[in-house]
Amino acid sequence: MTSEAVSVPVSVPTNRKKLFIRTWGCQMNVYDSNRMADVLAPLGYGPAATPEEADMVILNTCHIREKASEKVFSDLGRLRLLKNEKAAAGQKMVLAVAGCVAQAEGAEITARAPWVDIVLGPQTYHRLPEMVARASRAAGAQIDTDFPAEQKFDLLPQVSTDGGPIAFLTIQEGCDKFCSFCVVPYTRGAEFSRPVAAILAEAKRLVSGGAREIALLGQNVNAWHGEAPDGSAWTLSRLLYELAEIDGLARIRYTTSHPRDMDDALIGAHGRIPQLMPFLHLPVQSGSDKMLSAMNRQHKADLFFRIADRLREVRPDMALSSDFIVGHPGEKDEDHAATMALVGRVGFALAYSFKYSQRPGTPAAGQPFQVPEDVKDARLQELQAVLRRQQDDFNRACVGRECDILWTGPGRHPGQVAGRTPWLQPVHAMGPASLAGSLARVRIDAAHPNSLSATLLDEKELACA
C-alpha cells in the first residue's frame, strides 16, 4: 500500500454539479471515495477532472504515513486560494476533508483551516448528503467524526458497477489489534464484518457490471467473520469458496491480512481455489521477536516462517508481499539484523518499508528509546536495497514463463495493451484495445524496473492485433 495522493475517477453520470475527490492511502480509501461519489450522485454531482472545475472537492485522507496531516494542510492552503477565486466570481465551492486524518484531527482542521466546510470520519460517509445540505445553508464547518451505532453499509446506495475489469469490495472495517505504532483502531473503530448476503450481492453486481477480478478489502480482512443467512458465522475461507462459484469471476484477491488470522483453512484455500491468485500481502513489520512484542503484534517471527512455508507448500507459485517498519522505539542493531534475516529467509516479490514515525495518541509515541533519524535512515536504506533486489530477482525469474493476463486497458504506447499477471505485476504487450476486460495467455519476454513486457500467444488475439 502507498500513501501517495491519487485522483479517483468517480463513476457517476454527468450532471449539473462537479465533484473532485483526491485520495491518499490504501485501496480501502479508494473504495470509500467511490462510495462517496455514489452517495452524492443523487444530489446532482458528476465527476470533475480537476479541482478548478469542481463545485465540491473532497480530500479523502490517510493517517498512516509520516507527515500525512501536513500534506493535507498543504493541499488545503492551495484550495483556499481556489475557493476564494470562485467566491469572487460568484461561485460556491464546498470543501470537505474525509478519512482518517479527519477522524483523528477534526478539531485541528477546523482551527487551522476554517474555510473547510465539512469534516467527516470514515464511518459517516452515508451522512454526507445531509452535511452538504447543512453546509449550503449555514456558516461554519459541519463535523461528523462519530462511530454511529448504525452500520454505514446498510445506508449506502448500491455500489457502482461500471468500474472496469478489476473491482474492490470492502468486507471488513476497523481493527482490534492495537499495534503500538498504528492509529487505525482510533480512526476506523472496532472490527466490523459485513454479512455474507450483502457481500455476495455486491460481488454479483460487480461481476454483472464487467468485473473479472475482485479484491476483498479490510483493515484485517482475514479476521472477517460474517453472519450467514442461516445465522451461522462464516470465516474468510468459506466466503472465498462461495465467491469462486460466481459465474464470470476469474480472479479473487484479499488484503490486508494479519499473520495471527491466517488459519489452516484459509491457507488450504490457496491450494484448492483456482480463482484465488498466488499473491498475498501479509505484513510482518519486523523480524525481531523483541520488537514484535514491543509493537504488540502478538505473534513471533516463527509463525510468519511457518505460514510462508505452508502457503508455498499448498501453492508452489505463491508470491508474498509485506510491510516493514524500521526504527520502532527500542530497536537495536540486533533487532534490525533479525529483520534482515527474515527477509533473506522468506524472500518477497514486493514489499513496503518505512521509518517509524510518531503518531499522537498511539502507545509507541510516548515510549522512551526513540531511535535517531540517521540510524533509521541507514537501516531503511539497507532494508530497501535488499527488498528491491528481491523484487527484481522475482520479476526476472518470470521471463520465459507463460501465464494468463487480465487486460485492463490500453498501454502507454500506440498498439499496446496493459494488464496484470496473477502475481499483480504490471505487464504490457502489443495487442488490440478490445482485449480490455478479458484474459489472454502470454509469454513474458523481459523484466523492466516497474513492469514486464510480453507477447500474446493466442493466435486469434494475434490476428486481431
State the binding site: 26, 62, 100, 175, 179, 182
Cα-based angle 209, 166, 390 (whole degrees, multiple of 5): 170
Signed CA dihedral, 327, 332, 333, 337: sign only: negative
Backbone angles phi, psi at 351, to 5 degrees: -160, 155
Q: What cell does 29 get?
A: 480509501
The torsion region of residue 229 among left (phi > 0), alpha (psi -120 to 50) and beta comes to alpha
**On the CB side of 61, how many CA atoms lie within 13 Å of its CA?**
31
Instruction: Please check whether residue 282 is in contact with residue 320, taking contact to mean a CB–CB distance below 8 angstroms.
Output: yes
Instruction: Compute the distance between CA of residue 422 and CA of residue 250 in angstroms, rounded to an integer.
Output: 11
Q: 112: helix, coil or strand? A: helix
Please state the residue numbers annotated as binding site for [4Fe-4S] cluster: 26, 62, 100, 175, 179, 182
Instruction: Compute the distance between CA of residue 11 and CA of residue 384 in angstroms, rounded to an integer.
Output: 37
255 cis-preceded (ω within 30 degrees of 0): no
Nearest to 57 by CA among 71, 36, 74: 36
